[in-house]
Chain A
Amino acid sequence: MEMNMKRRIFVKGSVAAGALGVAVGAGLLTPKAVLAAWPKEAFEAKKVADALSALYGTGDTTESGDIKIKAPDIAENGAVVPITVTVSTDMAGVESISIIAANNPAPLVASFNMGEGAMGFVSTRIKMGKTGDVIAVVKSGGKLQSNRKEVKVTIGGCGG
């Protein structure tokens, strides 16, 4: 009943207008921000060198002691391995830092593009399928430099 009453009032009110005006909320829809080309090929690569060439155009990196990787020697839980990469301030203009777990099925785990004012420091947690090297690749001044650290992954948490 209540619905009908409201409807009556509504119809009366609309008579003067002659037709129902339909409000189109077109302005509410803004195009979704386009993903800034997530490098599918690099992330799906099965080999470290392939991932690097897909991401940077070259697989050649120079070992550098200016890159420090902080990671546990033994990770009891491979699902959560804390990784911190610190780049020495001697290395100017860090453009990007990539974290690679060499023995993962898809080695490239994450890649950080540094914007304005960003320092050469990132810390995150990654998954590791098995024991292997964690490689940090840093791009600065157009050159690729890297360092690595072995992380032993034990399953079952016995610490062995």
Chain B
Amino acid sequence: MAKKSIKIRAKEKGGVVTVKSLMTHPMQIGGQKDKKTGKPIPAHFIQEVNCEANGKNVMSALFSGGVSKNPYLSFKFSGAKKGDMMKLSWVDNQGNTDSAEAKIG
């Protein structure tokens, strides 16, 4: 996969960390045909996104191909402070995977 497919911004305010992330991925639902070649486009989408902070699983998201191209994901959690590291990783239906870490600011 392309390098740096994940962008993360995590901010702590009043004990709550707000995470905003963008992943670069085609999110092909599959089943459609390529308009130019007439060949079917294979399904290619992120199935699972996992988020960890301080080694604990904060949230895991399961996606279908119904999530928009280049998925945006935002969520909130408590239990981490400024300077802590958080990690986000994804796995798609073709077995590709990527992960990124960010410092909570």
CA of A82 to CA of B71 in the docked complex: distance in angstroms?
10
A115-B57, A127-B29 given; A121·B75 CB < 8 A:
yes
Interface of B: prevailing SS: strand
Tally the A-B contacts, defined by beta carbons under 8 Å: 109
Interface of A: prevailing SS: strand
Is A92 interfacial (CB 8 A cutoff)? no
**Which chain A positions have C-beta within 8 A of B80?**
117
**Nearest B residue to A84 by beta-carbon distance?**
B74
**Nearest A residue to B46 by beta-carbon distance?**
A110
Select one of B53, B62, B78 contacting A113, CB under 8 A.
B62
**Which chain A positions have C-beta within 8 A of B75?**
112, 118-119, 121-123
**Nearest B residue to A112 by beta-carbon distance?**
B61
Interface residues on A, range: 20 to 34
**Which chain A positions have C-beta within 8 A of B58?**
115-118
Residues of chain B having any CB pair with chain A under 8 Å:
16, 29, 47-48, 51, 53, 56-69, 71-80, 91, 95
Residues of chain A having any CB pair with chain B under 8 Å:
32-33, 35-36, 38-39, 43, 79-82, 84, 101, 104, 106, 108-119, 121-127
